[in-house]
Structure 1
Amino acid sequence: MSSDSTAESSTVNTFDIRGIPAKCVCGTATTIFTADTVKNPGRPFYRCLTRRKHHLFKWVEDAVLEEVEDALPKIAQLEAEVAKGKSDVEDLKGVITELMEEVVRTKTELKRCEVKMKIVCVIISLISIGVVVSLMN
């Protein structure tokens, strides 16, 4: 960090740039300087590297506060999306449970059908044997 005695608190020119400024409106990169004024000793600020009087100047704490303020609605939206996702997962767990119960019921019914088919096959076989035996006599 370098020091700069021109850091001011009354004339702050941010050009409505919100958050941490990567570049000045002139396109030049910004960097953090440290104020060495009596009013703001050691206070960090962003400033355009051109060092022209009317270029970007922004206190670091103001930039960080804006970053946080801008992030809060996004965080709230993400929280809402996560809550909806959790709700959807719970709904899907219920559907999966219902489907698993249906699979068990279907397997049970299938086994019953298999037993009935075997009984029908035995009955048809017995009738066929009876018909064949009666025709032979």
Structure 2
Amino acid sequence: MSSESTAESSTVNTYGIRGFPARCVCGTKTTIYTSETNKNLGRPFFRCHTRRKTHLFKWVEDAVYEEVQDALPKIVLLEAKLNKEKSDIEDLKGVVTELMEEVVRTKTEVKRCKVMMTILFVIMCVIIIVLVVSLM
């Protein structure tokens, strides 16, 4: 892609557009050009160029820097959220372990109750048999 030396003026106009400018404030799509001046040879830049005037000019490395700068707080928030989710998972693992232990205790208690009911049933049968035999 070509470039114009006017795009490399000392006054850089980005209109407050941060990061990669997809469109200029005039609505025109931006394009990446490569500088051909001795001072910035091969350096890529964004530019909006209408037939009359260049509105927007931004070095690609400045746009990349802004993208990273804007992403860092979001990454910190995501990291905090991830750590909270990990903590919640560990808490839930503890709850699951407690519930599993409670299930084991409950199963043991149910088995004891079955044994006790069987013993009581046998005792009741013996008592009924003894009563029936004694009444005869």
TM-score between both structures, scaled by the size of structure 1: 0.93
Q: Which amino acid aligns with 1:121?
A: F
Q: Which amino acid aligns with 1:15?
A: Y
Q: CA deviation at 1:4?
A: 2.6
RMSD: 1.3
Q: 2:7 aligns to what?
A: 7
Provide the secondary structure at the position in 2 that maps to 1:117: helix
Provide the secondary structure at the position in 2 that maps to 1:70: helix
Q: CA deviation at 1:108?
A: 0.5
Q: How many aligned positions are there?
A: 136
Q: 2:95 aligns to what?
A: 95
Name whichever of 36-45 and 87-96 sits farther off: 36-45
Map 1:105-116 to 2 at 5 A: 105-116=105-116
Q: 2:31 aligns to what?
A: 31
Unaligned runs of 5+ in 1: none
Query: 2:45–2:59: 8 Å Cα contact kept in structure 1?
Result: yes
Q: Which amino acid aligns with 2:72?
A: L
Provide the secondary structure at the position in 2 that maps to 1:21: coil
Q: Which amino acid aligns with 1:123?
A: I
Q: CA deviation at 1:95?
A: 0.7
Q: For each residue in 1:64-97, what CA deviation from the matched residue of structure 2 results, as whole angstroms up to 9, or x when unmatched?
A: 0000000000001111111111111111111111
2: CA distance, partners of 1:41 / 1:7:
13
Residues 1:124 and 2:121 aligned together: no
TM-score between both structures, scaled by the size of structure 2: 0.94
Unaligned runs of 5+ in 2: none
Residues 1:21 and 2:30 aligned together: no
